[in-house]
Amino acid sequence: MSDSRKRLVVYGAGGHAKVVADLAICLGYELIGFVDDRMPVGQIVLGAPVLGAGAWLEGKSGDVVVALGIGDNAARAANFETCRALGVVCPPLIHPRAVVAASASIGQGTTIMALAAVNPEARVGEGVIVNTGAIIEHECQVADFAHLSPNATLGGRARVGTFAHVGLCACVLPGIEVGERCKVGAGAVVNRNVGANLTVVGVPARPLSR
């Protein structure tokens, strides 16, 4: 990677963005600053400035790469599409203390935090958050812009749909599917397939009343 490609901007400047920025620094990137559509220009976050809104990235495709620092799945997807339209690369970022099998695949814009594990032949899409200590077992499939919270666990061959969110310490048993835009509550144990757009909680996980 050339020096210019080691210069990095984090899209977002909130709490999750700080974790992503720290990850990038651990990987040897030079943190130039943050872009955020709501924070004032010049505000300092982790010692680096907010540079402007997303429009700041126009014309920067050869100068910086971008890390996605937004926790909300839909907003993160929109940020990713902004970067793609501007020709700015969002590389996958894998913490040096994470374990990712050589046979696993990781999409662009995905962040894998410290102590996470992605095991053989797992498939992780674009813009996914694999948060601190999360486990993706063998042959799992995690679709684009999903979020696995800290210490969430997917058993072997489990599947998580686009924009789904698996909460803190929740687990999805082997071979089980969580549909797109589903939310799995903290500590839940998902032992049967969950259809799209549902929120499930408890042990075993059950849908909340609509």
Pick the CATH number of 4-91 from 3.20.20.100, 3.40.50.20, 1.10.101.10, 3.30.70.3270: 3.40.50.20
Strand pairing partners for 7? 30
**Residue type at 112 in one-letter notation:** I
d(CA 78, CA 125): 15
21-25, 26-30, 82-86, 206-210, range with the lowest pLDDT: 206-210
| Domain ranges (residues) in the chain | 4-91, 92-199
Q: What is the architecture, at CATH level 2, of domain 92-199? A: 3 Solenoid (2.160)
User: 1 pLDDT exceeds 70?
Assistant: no
For the whole model, what pTM was predicted?
0.95
Percent of the chain at pLDDT > 70 equals: 97
3-7, 30-34, 118-122, 163-167, range with the lowest pLDDT: 3-7
Please give the DSSP secondary-structure letter assigned to residue 36: -
Active site residues: 138
User: Any residues with CB less than 8 A from the CB of 28 and at least 6 apart, and which?
Assistant: 6
Six token digits for residue 79: 């940020």
For residue 185, report the phi and psi dihedrals to the nearest 5 degrees.
Answer: -65, 160
